[in-house]
């Protein structure tokens, strides 16, 4: 009692419809964390600017991400839910931290190297300093726990470095943020074709979106990559099969999972049956989220209210941090 709750910060880019990777890597934890922590969750619209989205689409996507988060069970009364660009203090802290982030280390970040390979004509400074902006997002509330999927692990390592550098140079202000998951390991949901992670932009037919219709869900799962099954009892599972089991553990009953685990270990598994069962359980999981998000998206007055309310709460916290940061850096003249 009386103990302040630990601070949690996490964001999702406004680049399209949310998918199961976002849900199980991040949002599922948000929903549990809102009961025990002081949570700041936001739509990372500035981060999505690296790819120069159409302004009209960007706007729609911000509302969509908000609606989908609430539809998944996030309660704007329990958490501070806001849009990144409503908090100018984040941009100010980003500028300060940029002075402590070195070109060499930023160029080595694997996600940056991937983007350079994929889009050699658009290697902009925002892309290079992407982990610095992420750090500003977290440190602006002095966040400690950051619920994210496995793909964000290296970004958080950078965040710890930047926090430490600031503290060493100017005096202690920031905790060193750590990735958080209720299970042991951070989650990575693979694409259903077995190639890479499930993502908003790649392999749309192998990604389960939170707005997919029932038949689309069944069809995508039907086409998920499998093979002719294990040849020996208790074999190791190939990663694309493990991924189907991961999904099943997330949406099916323990009895169902056990049934197929036993069948796999006994070499009698029929992947067609497994995918059919998973399809039905997935429909039961996604359909209510889809319907709720759709209804929320129609109510832009409500979403606007939520955004303003969240922005006010987030700015109050951010302003305090910036006041401290400016003081420590000697940028306080009045």
Q: Dihedral sign for Cα 146, 152, 155, 161, please.
A: positive
Of the residues 108, 113, 150, 200, which is catalytic?
A: 200
DSSP string, 136-203: HHHHTTT--EEE--GGGHHHHHHHHHHHHHHHHHH-S-----EEE-SSSSPP-PBPTTSSSB--SSS-
Query: Does residue number 45 form part of the binding site for ligand TYM (CB under 6 A)?
Result: no
The single residue among 72, 93, 187, 318 that binds ligand TYM, judged by CB under 6 A, is 187
Query: Does residue number 43 form part of the binding site for ligand TYM (CB under 6 A)?
Result: no
- Tell me how many residues contact ligand TYM (CB under 6 A): 25
The single residue among 12, 31, 241, 314 that binds ligand TYM, judged by CB under 6 A, is 12
The beta-strand segments (E) located in 2-117 are: 7-13, 38-44, 80-83
- Is 200 annotated in the active site? yes
Give yes or no for a contact between 139 and 36, defined as CB atoms under 8 angstroms apart: no
Please say which residue, 23 or 264, places its beta carbon nearer to ligand TYM: 23
The single residue among 62, 198, 241, 322 that binds ligand TYM, judged by CB under 6 A, is 198
Give yes or no for a contact between 265 and 231, defined as CB atoms under 8 angstroms apart: no
Residues whose CB is less than 8 angstroms from the CB of residue 216 and which lie 6 or more positions away in sequence, other chains included = none
Please say which residue, 139 or 269, places its beta carbon nearer to ligand TYM: 139
- Is 222 annotated in the active site? no
Considering only 8-16, 74-82, 168-176, 284-292, which stretch makes contact with ligand TYM by CB under 6 A?
Answer: 8-16
Q: Dihedral sign for Cα 287, 289, 290, 291, please.
A: positive
> Considering the complex, what minimum distance in angstroms separates the CB of residue 197 from ligand TYM?
4
Query: Does residue number 38 form part of the binding site for ligand TYM (CB under 6 A)?
Result: no
Binding mask 132-171 for ligand TYM (x = CB under 6 A): --x--xx-------x-xx-xx-------------------
- Is 115 annotated in the active site? yes
> Considering the complex, what minimum distance in angstroms separates the CB of residue 66 from ligand TYM?
13
CA–CA separation, 97 and 56 (whole Å): 31
CA–CA separation, 195 and 191 (whole Å): 6
> Considering the complex, what minimum distance in angstroms separates the CB of residue 29 from ligand TYM?
9
Give yes or no for a contact between 177 and 143, defined as CB atoms under 8 angstroms apart: yes
CA–CA separation, 303 and 298 (whole Å): 9
CA–CA separation, 37 and 72 (whole Å): 18
Active site residues: 115, 197, 200
Q: Site residues (CB under 6 A) for ligand TYM?
A: 9-13, 21-22, 25-26, 44, 47, 134, 137-138, 146, 148-149, 151-152, 187-189, 197-199
């Amino acid at each position: 009692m009386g103990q302040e709750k630990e601070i949690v910060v996490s964001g999702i880019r406004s680049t399209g419809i949310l998918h199961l990777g976002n849900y199980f890597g991040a949002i599922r934890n948000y929903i549990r964390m809102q009961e025990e922590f002081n949570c700041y969750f936001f739509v990372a619209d500035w981060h999505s600017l690296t790819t120069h989205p159409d302004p009209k689409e960007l706007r729609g996507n911000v509302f969509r991400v908000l609606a989908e988060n609430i539809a998944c069970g996030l309660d704007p009364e329990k958490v501070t839910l806001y849009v990144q660009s409503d908090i100018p203090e984040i941009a100010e802290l980003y500028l300060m931290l940029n002075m402590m982030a070195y070109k060499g280390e930023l160029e080595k970040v694997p996600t940056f190297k991937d983007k350079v390979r994929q889009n050699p004509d658009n290697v902009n400074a925002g892309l290079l300093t992407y982990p610095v902006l992420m750090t500003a997002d977290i440190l602006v509330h002095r966040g400690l726990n950051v619920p994210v999927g496995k793909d964000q692990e290296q970004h958080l390592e950078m965040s710890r470095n930047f926090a430490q550098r600031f503290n060493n140079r100017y005096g202690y202000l920031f905790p060193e943020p750590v990735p958080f998951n209720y299970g042991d390991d951070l989650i990575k949901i693979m694409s259903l074709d077995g190639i890479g992670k499930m993502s908003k932009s790649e392999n749309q037919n192998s990604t389960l979106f939170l707005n997919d219709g029932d038949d689309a869900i069944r069809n995508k799962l039907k086409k998920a990559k499998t093979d002719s099954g294990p040849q020996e009892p208790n074999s190791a599972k190939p990663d694309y099969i493990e991924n189907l089991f991961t999904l099943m553990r997330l949406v099916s009953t323990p009895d169902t999972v056990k049934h197929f685990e036993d069948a796999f270990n006994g070499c009698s598994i029929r992947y067609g049956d497994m995918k059919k069962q998973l399809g039905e359980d997935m429909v039961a999981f996604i359909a209510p989220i889809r319907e709720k998000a759709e209804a929320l998206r129609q109510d832009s007055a409500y979403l606007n209210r939520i955004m303003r309310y969240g922005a006010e709460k987030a700015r109050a916290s951010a302003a305090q941090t910036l006041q401290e940061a400016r003081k420590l850096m000697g940028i306080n003249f009045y």
